[in-house]
A and B are shown apart, each in its own frame.
Chain A
Amino acid sequence: MIISDLFEETYSALLVNKARSGLTILGIIIGIGSVIAMVSIGQGAKGTIEASIQSLGSNLIIVMPGAQRGFGGGGISSGRGSAQSLTLEDADSIKEEIPTAQAVAPELSGRYQVTARGTNTNTQVLGTTPTYPTVRNLQIELGSFVSDQNLRTLNKVAVLGPTTRDDLFGEGADPVGQTIRIRGTNFKVIGVTQAKGGSGFSNQDDMVFIPITTAQRFLSGNNYVSSIGVQAVDQGSMTDLQAQITALLLDKHNISNPELADFSTLNQADIVATASSVTDTFTILLAAVAGISLIVGGIGIMNMMLTTVTERTREIGLRKAIGAKRKDINRQFLSEAVLLTFMGGLIGIVFGWTVSFLVSSFGGIATSVSLSSILLAFGVSAAIGIVFGYYPARRASKLNPIEALRYE
């Protein structure tokens, strides 16, 4: 029996019972389709989350102050990041003493009421240095960012985030040259940053950037910074850099026991890895739920094939009588099951793709259909055909021709 004959037999056998074949295929379509759609939603979520973490900056390590503790270590802790232990000098020494630290941007942030000619808003005011845009992947839309000159001379200049600009000066206005007032001090607007969108943690568009020295002098009134962002030269050196920063700061702060460090470091790669593992788990969960429907579809195939074998017992007997061997019968019924799942798989891929497209265009959730998930779905559907078609086909091939011919 040659392949084209096998295909012809299979095809015409499936056509005889169009409704039944169609419904069985539908089971596989739903199974494969939902696996593809669910995995694409999971992958899309992963992509979105990773992108938003990357938008914080690339190859970034954030150094934050440790917890404020009372005397003797047993007092009331006010939480991580609350202590005032990091200074501009720390930031400078990181930059000077560690060669893999490509850029260092200390930050001092606080929330203040900001007013401008009749309008006002409550927003985050971030004192920082000219390296900030490099470290945090920030682009300037209008004007310029804080310069070294501003930093040295404690200029009262401000760069607005686009949301803050909209709130204070109206949407799309050019505020460069205008004046805003923060905590009773006038600042001259010198630039507007480009919109980055919400990063999931904070809205980076609703901010006012001013020179960090100015912030220390006029806003916080002390020499501390609230965090230091350090950009590594490349991704490979991040762990190393993190260790070097820790060692350097422990040394500078005269702390011998690392357990008692008055600061902590946060590696962006760790955040990405954690977020990825969360989304991976999420994807697996979705795929598993969809996989159940695939198994149900497979059982549908088996059910249909068993019915078919029973119905066509006499036909099997006849085929055997005219010279079909066990393997011929086996192959015929197996290929019927595989063709069913294959067709279901093909349509299911289109279906899943359509669903994920609709989800992303109407549901606003990013989705991504990967080639690997398509190949996987295809392989799984063929495997389901073989697994669930095997038993019925074997049963058909083992029929005794005499009994099969007599079957009523």
Chain B
Amino acid sequence: MIQCNNITKTYKSGDIETNALKDVSFQIKDGEFVAIMGPSGSGKSTLMHILGALDTPTSGEYILGGHDVSEFSDDELADIRKDKLGFVFQSFNLLPRATVLRNVMLPLVYADIPKEERRAKAIKALINSGMSESHFHHHSNQLSGGQMQRVAIARALVNDPSLILADEPTGNLDTKTGEVVLSTFQELNEKQNRTIILITHERYVAEHADRIITIRDGVIVEDELNKKKIKLNGN
């Protein structure tokens, strides 16, 4: 379970203080698929950085896997990211001249997984994210955008994280491929009960999730279940 209690993040630039997040509190249960939606400048990226243990809040608690992460040092945060989190970025961030397999195995290098196990884990993650085996030895810069994002998803899955964070995962994809990537997330959520947080500024992307948290000017303005999808699933 993920719990955010009164999270505030303040940026200082000279004498001017900007509150990117003001007293934000919410809970996400294991196995939930949540979208965090908001326009740019709303504070959703800041929230994503805190949820992703890339940054710590100025005040408040962030409890991830039973630890209060908000007071962690840089190296402790790196350990949390390594063990508990998987990231999917808008711009994929794959190593361009490395093969698909090597890209997916990269987190395992830092997790000190023995070499023999890495390959098996990476192949499993690639199959889970819907990559076909014929591409495993391609260099990642030879792939299409949709394929790259699937590799990125596999990379996020490979260390079996308790939370997957997707930051605008469809932002660099056309609508059709975006749809495929989003349905991959849905499948991972439904079939493997993965906890997923999807950060986006577009309503139709957010609507793939079960719950939508809307954030504006650093505060949560709406937190509700996605009625559309529930209705669909109900049929």
Contacts and interface: CB of A to CB of B under 8 A. Distances in A.
Interface string A1-33: 110110001001000100000000000000000
Nearest to B74: A326
Contact of B87 (A12, A322, A325): A322
Interface in B84-106: 87, 89, 91, 93, 95, 97-98, 106
Contacts of A5: 109
A136 interface: no
Interface residues of B, number: 27
B89 to A, nearest CB: 7
A401 B110 contact: no
Contact of A323 (B49, B82, B91): B82
Contacts of A323: 78-79, 81-83, 107, 110-111, 159
Q: Which applies to chain A's interface (DSSP): helix, strand, loop or mixed?
A: helix
Interface string A283-325: 0000000000000000000000000000000110111111111
Contacts of A401: 54
B117 interface: no
Nearest to B165: A321
A328 interface: yes
Contacts of B55: 402
B99 to A, nearest CB: 10
Contact of A324 (B78, B87, B97, B98): B78
Nearest to A6: B109
B150 interface: no
A314 B110 contact: no
Contacts of B155: 322
B98 A314 contact: no
A320 B112 contact: no
B106 A319 contact: yes
Contact of A322 (B49, B74, B106): B106
Contact of B110 (A317, A328, A402, A405): A328
Contacts of A16: 97
B75 A322 contact: no
A402 B49 contact: yes
Contact of B75 (A4, A321, A325, A402): A325
B93 A1 contact: no
A322 B81 contact: yes
A318 B90 CA distance: 12
Nearest to B109: A5
Interface string B112-128: 10010000000000000
Contact of A405 (B74, B79, B89, B97): B89
A2 B112 contact: yes
A313 B219 CA distance: 31
Interface string A26-70: 000000000000000000000000000000000000000000000
Contacts, number: 62
Contacts of B97: 12, 16
B52 interface: yes
A1 B81 contact: no
A315 B111 CA distance: 17
A274 to B, nearest CB: 60
A320 B83 CA distance: 13
B82 A402 contact: no
A316 to B, nearest CB: 11
A304 B115 CA distance: 31
A12 B98 contact: yes
A164 to B, nearest CB: 75
A401 B78 CA distance: 10
B149 to A, nearest CB: 14
Contacts of A325: 74-75, 78-79, 110
A300 B201 CA distance: 45
Nearest to A12: B98
Contacts of B95: 315, 318
A319 B89 CA distance: 13
Contacts of A321: 52, 54, 81, 87, 93
Interface in A103-138: none
A106 to B, nearest CB: 82
A326 B75 contact: yes
Contact of A317 (B78, B82, B93, B159): B93
A279 to B, nearest CB: 51
Among A322, A324, A325, A405, the one with the most B-chain Cβ atoms within 10 Å of its Cβ is: A322
A314 B82 CA distance: 18
A321 B159 CA distance: 13
Contacts of A326: 74-75, 78
Contacts of A322: 81-82, 87, 106-107, 110, 155, 159
A89 B41 CA distance: 110
Contacts of B109: 1, 5, 9
B79 A314 contact: no
Contact of A1 (B79, B110, B159): B110
Nearest to B91: A314
Contact of B112 (A1, A314, A315): A1
A341 B82 CA distance: 32
A324 B110 contact: yes
Given A321-B81, A322-B155, 9 more contacts: A1-B110, A12-B97, A318-B89, A320-B54, A323-B79, A323-B81, A323-B107, A325-B75, A325-B110
Top 4 nearest A-B pairs (CB, nearest first) are: A323-B82, A322-B107, A318-B93, A323-B110
Interface of B: 49, 52, 54-55, 74-75, 78-79, 81-83, 87, 89, 91, 93, 95, 97-98, 106-107, 109-112, 115, 155, 159
